[in-house]
Amino acid sequence: MSPGILGKKIGMTQVFRSDGQAVPVTLLKAGPCLVVQRKTPSIDGYDAVQLGFVEFVKAARINKPLTGHLKKAGVEGARFVRELRMRPGDDDLKPGDKVLIDQFKPKDKVDVIGVSKGRGFAGLVKRHHFRGGAATHGSMFHRAPGSIGASSFPSRVLPGMRMAGHMGDARVTVRNLEIIDVDTEDNVLVVKGAVPGPNGGYVVVRRAKR
């Protein structure tokens, strides 16, 4: 058993349970993956496995350092490589071993990690859900940030102050998503709920930590 698997987001749809309840789901193209490297406590100081998502990709699309790294493990066509920590009960994986979707089953809980959609430069109301000021009666305070600190003390803007800026395009983890179905023939994982990122974006599916 592997601690997780790599894949791509296909898109969202819905499925119906036996009682007629509609369930929103996300389809993930998960695997096949190959083990690129195994990190061990004796050599690297921690126990982890490095997986590569195998897909059709031109050799020119993979940079030279990664090409050499993959060649060392005997792996080809893996542009998306990520590392997952090993946990008690996981298999002793070695470079070149396959990690397939059949290790998951319905009702398992997983954490899905992806990169959220980039929204560009956004203001306070959109980025942090500030309420804003009154919209009428001569108000000149509509979508402004308001006070960002005191002048006499500490006479500076404190770190972490919520302000306008770059929104999205950040690593997001959605925890405890339920697996609804597993299609081993087409390597498709059906999980309940939404997953971060656009359709076609890479994701990491790991076994739920909590």
DSSP character string of 47-92: -EEEEEEE----GGGS-HHHHHHHHHHT--SEEEEEEEE--TT---
Identify which of 56, 13, 12, 55 has the alpha carbon closest to the alpha carbon of residue 198.
12
Statement to judge: residues 27 and 114 lie in one domain: yes
Query: Can you give the pLDDT at residue 88?
Result: 81
Statement to judge: residues 95 and 157 lie in one domain: no
pLDDT tens digit string along 145-185?
888 999 899 999 999 999 999 999 999 999 999 999 998 88
Instruction: State the pTM of this model.
Output: 0.83
Statement to judge: residues 112 and 128 lie in one domain: no
Rounded Cα–Cα distance for residues 112 and 172 (Å): 8
Q: Mean pLDDT, to the nearest integer, of 76-88?
A: 86
pLDDT tens digit string along 101-123?
888 999 999 999 999 999 999 99
Statement to judge: residues 134 and 112 lie in one domain: no
Kindly tell me if the per-residue pLDDT of 129 is higher than 80.
Answer: yes
Identify which of 36, 73, 71 has the alpha carbon closest to the alpha carbon of residue 53.
36
On whether the CB atoms of residues 67 and 77 are closer than 8 A, the answer is no
Q: How confident is the model at residue 86 (pLDDT cuts 50, 70, 90)?
A: confident
Domain that holds residue 141: 121-167
On whether the CB atoms of residues 110 and 206 are closer than 8 A, the answer is yes
Statement to judge: residues 45 and 111 lie in one domain: yes
Total structural domains within the chain:
2
Query: Can you give the pLDDT at residue 40?
Result: 86
Q: How confident is the model at residue 201 (pLDDT cuts 50, 70, 90)?
A: very high
Query: Can you give the pLDDT at residue 1?
Result: 74
On whether the CB atoms of residues 206 and 195 are closer than 8 A, the answer is no
Query: Can you give the pLDDT at residue 205?
Result: 94
Q: Considering the chain, what is the average pLDDT of its residues? A: 90
